[in-house]
Structure 1
């Protein structure tokens, strides 16, 4: 490796330096990323709950449900929503591995909403530290490693996923990649156990990311075997020893049994996703150039003749021009010699980038051609509703590629190395900046603030407690909370009721999650509600004593029936949504 110029060496200290000062760029990039995204979403006054006021509240509900389960006040796998349907925890991310973190914040005295904010911030901290550690383990100097960590933790696709905060806890992805590479070079029982345990830990964090991670590792292992077939210790990877295979088999079986139990719980309560819906959300080629409306590129693209306005939501996968340029650079390193540690690192990064490229092509729909579509016909193939979310895993290879590009720039023995490194850093930070656009201001005006959300919940709690013995609650959608779209208004009502009922300590017929139970609907009348309770779910009349109804039901076709129901279950007024 060529020696960097003295000026560049001072700006970007070498890997041999163990002093804290050698990580100054890592500290700067971490601060920039944190202030740009998570802290900005929460707000300087601490009044923001990151997300759209629906999925973020659902995540808050499930985390609180896990905390109450640890305290013995709830049954973990039976979240009391969509009453009386059992097993509702399996319809969404159960946050098994995240319960200890959230619960610790609750034990320290934080409210559920404040604990959720801490849980949200923790994802960025752990993602950054994890990626920084992994990049260093692969041989990068502190400065390039910081670039890799910045991209993994704060890149544009992360901004597009703040409404699905459960996907942000990806901090076991970088260690899993490092362990996979180390296992190929030294296939010991310990490394195999660490690799599989790391993947299982990511599954417990969020199954979505674990599935995408498995796909990346599988392609990476295959490509590595093809590229380095002369260098790998095949006799140790596939030994003719029964004890080795038995140990590996036992480890795999233990993990499969644990995963299978969770998957079966999900399968019992979830339905099959509509094929057309899955195709609709499949990424298209332009998706890889579309980004969140707050980014600089979103303002520049139309001037270049690119119409990205029709690419919405989770199909915005643009990772930034620096990562894309770096990936192209890394792809060309595939033929590097592996005689040195530096050469092996370059080849590993190149193999990860080739793996990412193949996966991106696989999930992208080119007109009527979608290579991923046959997966939908397999059992469980429709479980992944939005395959474009794999970009959250691919950000680590892209980050490593960017680190490799920075390393190459700084290795040039020329004074322009410093200028080139600083320029790339400035471009990287600029293209990932969240701009104060009109769209952002409108979005912030429509989102639910923490204070407003708590007020809504407290008003509903007070209404519920008006009943002498509240045991169950349902809120009719006679008036809806504010939201950008009508569907979102209905969903927001459900999650606010869920949290209010949770605080009171009773189940609710209202509900929202990834999958609705069969025959459940947003009931608007007595007849619809009691058909669900007494006929569809056969709830005994005695179990409905203490049913609290809030809001005004729609008039029934039979006035006598409605009169009896109103007398038996009088509806309470719905508190205002101001």
Structure 2
């Protein structure tokens, strides 16, 4: 009888566990289908953006692929703005996510298709990065999935379609979550995670790295105001 009751409790709790596992995956698939994949068109004929940033970002990624494959001698000294040197350092170098593009190129995809797949992967990484961070903030899986959906596929993303260099921001919420754990008196591993996530975000995009730095500062001040206060305020 006790065994039956234990089995009954397990069966009654199973649907909730299943839903908590299904909802994050379902929202992810819905988001990928409704925004980034739809932008590419069913026949993969379209690339988000314009002939400015989109073309330049594709060029930087292809330049990285050529450099890794030995096609060019220097990554930083790209063959434009001659005779200036170190020209790649004057903009987002995308080094944090360029290996993803390089992997697709090595698998046989052409430049445009590899660029499209790179964009799809960034949407996916943004979703799961935000989901992991929100779970680290001790939110439930359903709430975390909803927050991650907004972060990765929200309407604000439409305004950035012409600037895909700001898409690699999956480490930003992880760094904020880790720093919040530090402010809460967490272990040293949260210091390490904050440093690694922040450094990697800079490699993904220098502008996003600076924005993350400002976010960490704001989070620190907010934590002091809420939990400690002081006459100096």
TM-score by length of 1: 0.36
Counting matched residue pairs gives 216
Partner in structure 2 of residue 64 of structure 1: 62
2: distance between equivalents of 1:155 and 1:190?
A: 31
Partner in structure 2 of residue 29 of structure 1: 27
1: distance between equivalents of 2:153 and 2:46?
A: 19
Partner in structure 2 of residue 196 of structure 1: 195
1:88-487 correspondence to structure 2 within 5 Å: 88-229=87-228
2: distance between equivalents of 1:127 and 1:229?
A: 33
Point out the structure with max Rg over C-alpha: 1
- Over 3 Å counting, the alpha-carbon distance change for 1:140 and 1:188 in structure 2 is closer
Report the CA distance between 1:84 and its aligned residue.
2.6
Partner in structure 2 of residue 86 of structure 1: 85
**Structure 1 or 2: more helix by fraction:** 2
2: distance between equivalents of 1:201 and 1:56?
A: 22
Gaps of 5+ in 2: 1-11
Partner in structure 1 of residue 44 of structure 2: 46
SS in structure 1 opposite 2:78? coil
Gaps of 5+ in 1: 1-8, 231-578
Report the CA distance between 1:141 and its aligned residue.
1.6
1: distance between equivalents of 2:204 and 2:70?
A: 22
Partner deviation per Cα, 1:330-374 (whole Å, 9 max, x = no partner): xxxxxxxxxxxxxxxxxxxxxxxxxxxxxxxxxxxxxxxxxxxxx
2: distance between equivalents of 1:212 and 1:205?
A: 12
Report the CA distance between 1:187 and its aligned residue.
4.8
SS in structure 2 opposite 1:82? coil
2: distance between equivalents of 1:202 and 1:115?
A: 22
Partner deviation per Cα, 1:449-491 (whole Å, 9 max, x = no partner): xxxxxxxxxxxxxxxxxxxxxxxxxxxxxxxxxxxxxxxxxxx
8 Å Cα contact 2:180/2:219 also seen in 1: no
TM-score by length of 2: 0.86
1: distance between equivalents of 2:54 and 2:97?
A: 15
Of the structure 1 ranges 162-171 and 138-147, higher mean CA displacement relative to structure 2 is found in: 138-147
Report the CA distance between 1:28 and its aligned residue.
2.4
SS in structure 1 opposite 2:162? helix
SS in structure 2 opposite 1:95? coil
1: distance between equivalents of 2:52 and 2:180?
A: 39
Root-mean-square deviation (CA, aligned residues, Å) is 1.9
2: distance between equivalents of 1:191 and 1:131?
A: 17
Partner in structure 2 of residue 432 of structure 1: none
